[in-house]
Chain A
């Protein structure tokens, strides 16, 4: 089925470990984003990309790196995990088109716990 696929669904890390959250979409969407969701704070934008090779910071980028080597993939890297990064992470994508076609497709999320 077409959509946004996130892996893994659950992950426990120790403080200081590194890991990559994977995000892939098969809709040929130009735009992709990463959000984190924390209780009482809604979803906050971490990083986003408007196309392969182009990324930019969102509202809460510290501690996270991204790259976009292909249209399909947008991995999120935690270089040295901290307990403050315990959260649920959502990847989203959309076409560059506006109007009726403007709409985000979200992945099912990755629940990350840093101990």
Chain B
């Protein structure tokens, strides 16, 4: 069964500082990996996804993530955080390259606070 672990429940960074949110997954083959962001009271917005190819994926709002198969990780990074990045971030894993299956498994989320 697929699973996702986000070990950091809360993270606080200063505006302008760099950010890395950790995500570890468990899946038997090469997975589809996603990062979503959710502002309070809002729905989910897709930041980026990985399914094959270049292991460094660029997303929206200046975010990027690196897929490391050997570490089963898909960490999200941003070089310089803005106050508007304060939100909850979810890592998720979907079924593999065949595209079959309809189970998207989420981590428990990381709440990001940005200090001005």
Contacts and interface: CB of A to CB of B under 8 A. Distances in A.
Contact of B109 (A42, A102, A107, A109): A42
Interface in B1-30: 4, 9
Interface residues of B, number: 26
Interface string A94-110: 10111111111011110
Contacts of A107: 43
Nearest to B97: A98
A102 B103 CA distance: 12
A43 B103 contact: no
Contacts of A100: 51
Interface residues of A, number: 30
B48 to A, nearest CB: 11
A49 B44 contact: no
A44 interface: yes
Nearest to B94: A102
Given A42-B90, A43-B90, A98-B51, A103 B105 contact: no
Given A42-B109, A98-B98, A92 B43 contact: no
B52 A99 contact: yes
20 contacts: A32-B102, A40-B108, A40-B109, A42-B108, A43-B92, A44-B106, A58-B103, A92-B104, A96-B100, A98-B51, A99-B51, A99-B52, A99-B97, A99-B99, A102-B94, A103-B49, A104-B104, A106-B44, A108-B42, A109-B43
Interface of A: 31-33, 35, 40-45, 48-50, 58, 90, 92, 94, 96-104, 106-109
